[in-house]
Structures are given as C-alpha cells and as structure tokens.
Amino acid sequence: MTTHPNMGGVGAAESRACQTERSAVGCFLGSTGGRSTLETPWPELVRPSSQIGVSSWHALPYAVAQGTQPSWPGGSMMEQLQKLVVRYGDYRQKPVRFRPETWRSRLELHGAAHVLSIGVGCVNGPSGDRLISRGDLADLRDRVDDDPDGLRDLFVAVMIWGSGTTNGRGPRYTEAALSDTRMPAVLRTTRQAVRDGDLSRAYEQFALSGVRRSFFTKWFAAVDDRDATCERALILDDRVFRSLNALGWSSWKAAGTRRWPTRYAAYVSSVHGWASSLGVTADWLEWLLFHLNGRVGEP
C-alpha cells in the first residue's frame, strides 16, 4: 500500500531522538471534565475473538495495534480503517482561513497581535482574511527557543489555526489563557514533557483558563519536534472522538482505566500502530478521523 503524504502533522525537519517506549495499549481520550457524552460504550460491538485468545476485551486495543483482527459486526476495525484509507487516500488537509481583525483586540492587550501576520493572505473571500497551515506552525516552532514570548506566540498561532472562522469563542478563550499567570510555566513544562516522550505527564501538567483537551492536544502536536520514528503527539478533539466512537471504541474500557492522561498517551500509541499497519502516517490518519467527524460508514 502506498504511503500517503504527511498532511496531518508537523512538516519541518526533525532532529530530536525518540526518548520513549511505545505503548501497546489502544484507547482514546474523553473530555477533561469527566466522561464525555460523545464517549458512549459499545460493548455489544467489541467482544473477544478466538483469534486473540483472551477472555477480556480490555486486550482488544493491544491486538488491533499489533495488527490482530478481532471480530465484530461489519468486520474488524482494521478492515474498516483500511477501506477508509483507500476511499480517502487522495484527500489532503487544507490550510485554515482566519480573520485577523476578529483576534486583534484580544491579542493587542498581551503584545501578541504580531502573530496575526502568520500564513498567507487569501486571494478570495472577505478582505484581510489569511490562511494558516500546520506547516506554518512547524516553521514557527522551529524558530522558537525557550523564550516565554516565543512560546506564547506559538500557542497563539495554534489557537488561531484550531479556531479558524468557525469557532467564535477561540479569541475569547485565547485571551483567557493569555491572562492566566500560569501560562509561561505551563507552556514550558508541557513542551518539555512532550519532547521527553511523556505525553501522559504533559496532559497532567496542562492547566490554563479557557483551554481544554481539543486545543491543548493541538499544542502538544505543534511542539513535538522529535524524530519521525517516534510516536509523536496527536490531536484528539471531538471530531476525532466521534469517528473513533463510530468505529466501536470506548476509551475507558479499552484502556482499563478512567485516568485521562494514560488514555491520551495510549490513544497516540494506538493510532501510530494502526497507521504503520495501514501504510500511512499517524498524523494523516488522525486528520482523516477529524475529516470524517464520525461518518465512517458513508460513501
């Protein structure tokens, strides 16, 4: 199977060595404020298979990540994912449109309005709109050192990219985070945890006003500059969640724990395992799940 271009992740040259072992447990993560309503258990769809040889379906994620084919109605999850990869193999993630003037007043108060020049101007649509891509985030990441203002600028760019023109709350939530006195320490420590390959620790450490899982996992993905052979951080937002649920996954049962940081790290490891088996990149597969938004069975 042809490997598709990496459209879901950071595109700059990678330099850091992998500093973490791969986890074989497969699961995904709910919202930070308790179990998400999107995370509906599907026990009737996930049952042990004689091919796996276990009595508890807690081991199913491990088997799927290793390429073993559990059985459930409609075929195994890997079979479903393979069909989706074939169907959407030519799809690519596009840059995100944003409106600088929507953000300007919120950012000027914190000396971060210059970030609004990121990306390129739109050739059509409302005057002043710009386009920002994950490649733009990678370029900015590679220019950022340990300077708090540089990390703040990268965080703002991530929030802009994650909000686009459809999330009207993005500027307000970003301002709330910028006003949080914990920001310098949180951005510094979570970036280091990601670089150390300790995604569970990064998840535990991230606490800023206005920023929850859908956005702080975007921060993790943006700052992860480890070697491409590592299991780099991935985004887990509600759209990815819907697709995983539609494929029959329940995070707390798959992980055997309700501990969110552990479930996020295991989600990342599982997607990397699935992507390797399917001949695609993990961040492209993450983006595909985002793109589908739960519509995994539609043509």
Please give the average pLDDT of every successive group of 10 residues along the chain, which has 299 residues: 37 37 32 29 27 29 40 68 95 95 96 98 89 97 93 98 89 98 98 97 98 98 96 96 87 81 92 95 97 90
pLDDT value for 101: 95
Sequence length of the chain is 299
Range of the domain at 199: 96-221
Q: What's the number of domains the chain is made of?
A: 1
**pTM of the entire predicted model:** 0.77
pLDDT value for 166: 80
Residue 172 is assigned to a structural domain of this protein: yes
Residue 130 is assigned to a structural domain of this protein: yes
Cα angle 40, 207, 146; round to 5: 130
Residue 44 is assigned to a structural domain of this protein: no
pLDDT value for 126: 80
Residue 103 is assigned to a structural domain of this protein: yes
pLDDT value for 249: 75
Residue 235: name the closest of 222, 226, 247, 246 by CA.
222
Report CA 83 to chain centroid distance, whole Å. 22
pLDDT value for 69: 39
CA distance 275 to 81: 9
CA distance 256 to 263: 9
Residue 159 is assigned to a structural domain of this protein: yes
Residue 132 is assigned to a structural domain of this protein: yes
pLDDT value for 223: 98
pLDDT value for 124: 86
pLDDT value for 75: 63
